[in-house]
């Protein structure tokens, strides 16, 4: 049987709704959403021996933009943080939903929600939007870091799938950064060493466009299990 290419799929209207399968079993709007993530800014996460670290590129392209107004690391709860890649406005809606879920759990059960439970709730919502007529999939992936009995790192994609990682990246420089992580990441890294590896990976990926002004980052130390943001000085110290 002759294969149908993507252009033919578009001509036949299989990409007009997220609830219509193409003849070869694809949901084209969901695939478009995943491509959108590939064009988003880069985020890097690593589980270290003393906690977990998250570093993101703000991708500031205009000189007159105030850097601190561009937020890429979001606090979900005292022990959970997240970064988004793709359509930032889509991500903001999901981040706010995650914050509500976390607070509702605290109010109901008087205990903090686990990172995995929160991730599942957000992925359920993402998956719902791949099968509802009149709506489109969320064009965003979210990287979650959290700490319960041990540190955790998860990525959710537009389909509603989530995976847990020791170290990973998402966004436009995902391939280059992952190559570096595969070569240099070790479970014995400290948070400071993880920060250094993440910054060096972004330096390599961004080249001349790299600047400390473009960075946003946070970490959770295993001692107190609280999300804390890196300061600009922390990025400048890394050599």
pLDDT in tens, 154-171: 999 999 999 999 999 999
pLDDT in tens, 17-70: 777 788 888 888 888 889 999 999 999 999 999 999 999 999 887 888 887 788
Which letter does DSSP use for residue 17 in this model?
A: -
Beta-ladder partners of 86: 140
Percentage of the chain with pLDDT > 90?
69
Query: Does residue 147 sit in helix, strand or coil?
Result: strand
Q: Is the pLDDT of residue 12 over 70?
A: no
Q: What are the backbone dihedrals phi and psi of residue 232, each rounded to the nearest 5 degrees, phi first?
A: -55, -35
Compute the distance between CA of residue 87 and CA of residue 93 in angstroms, rounded to an integer.
10
pLDDT at 128: 93
CATH number given to 41-237: 3.60.20.10
Q: Which two tokens stand for residue 142?
A: 């979210």
Q: Determine the average pLDDT of the residues in 178-197.
A: 95
- Per-domain boundaries in the chain: 41-237
Mean pLDDT (the chain, rounded)? 90
């Amino acid at each position: 049987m002759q294969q149908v290419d993507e252009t033919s799929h578009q001509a036949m209207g299989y990409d007009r709704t997220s609830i219509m399968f193409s003849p070869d079993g694809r949901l084209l709007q969901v695939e478009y959403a995943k491509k959108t993530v590939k064009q988003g800014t880069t985020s890097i996460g690593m589980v270290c021996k003393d906690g977990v670290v998250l570093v993101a590129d703000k991708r500031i392209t205009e000189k007159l933009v105030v850097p601190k107004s561009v937020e890429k690391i979001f606090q979900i709860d005292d022990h959970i943080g997240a970064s988004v890649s793709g359509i930032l406005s889509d991500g903001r809606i999901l981040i706010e939903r995650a914050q509500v879920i976390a607070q509702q759990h605290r109010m109901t059960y008087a205990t903090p929600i686990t990172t995995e439970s929160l991730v599942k709730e957000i992925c359920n919502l993402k998956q719902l939007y791949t099968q509802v007529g009149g709506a489109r999939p969320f064009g965003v992936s979210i990287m979650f870091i959290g700490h319960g009995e041990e540190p955790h790192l998860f990525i959710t994609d537009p389909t509603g799938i989530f995976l847990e990682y020791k170290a990973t990246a998402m966004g436009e420089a995902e391939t280059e950064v992952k190559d570096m992580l595969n070569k240099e990441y070790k479970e014995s890294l400290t948070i400071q060493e993880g920060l250094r590896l993440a910054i060096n990976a972004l330096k390599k990926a961004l080249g001349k466009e790299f600047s400390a002004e473009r960075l946003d980052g946070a970490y959770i130390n295993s001692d107190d299990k609280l999300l804390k943001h890196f300061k600009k000085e922390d990025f400048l110290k890394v050599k």
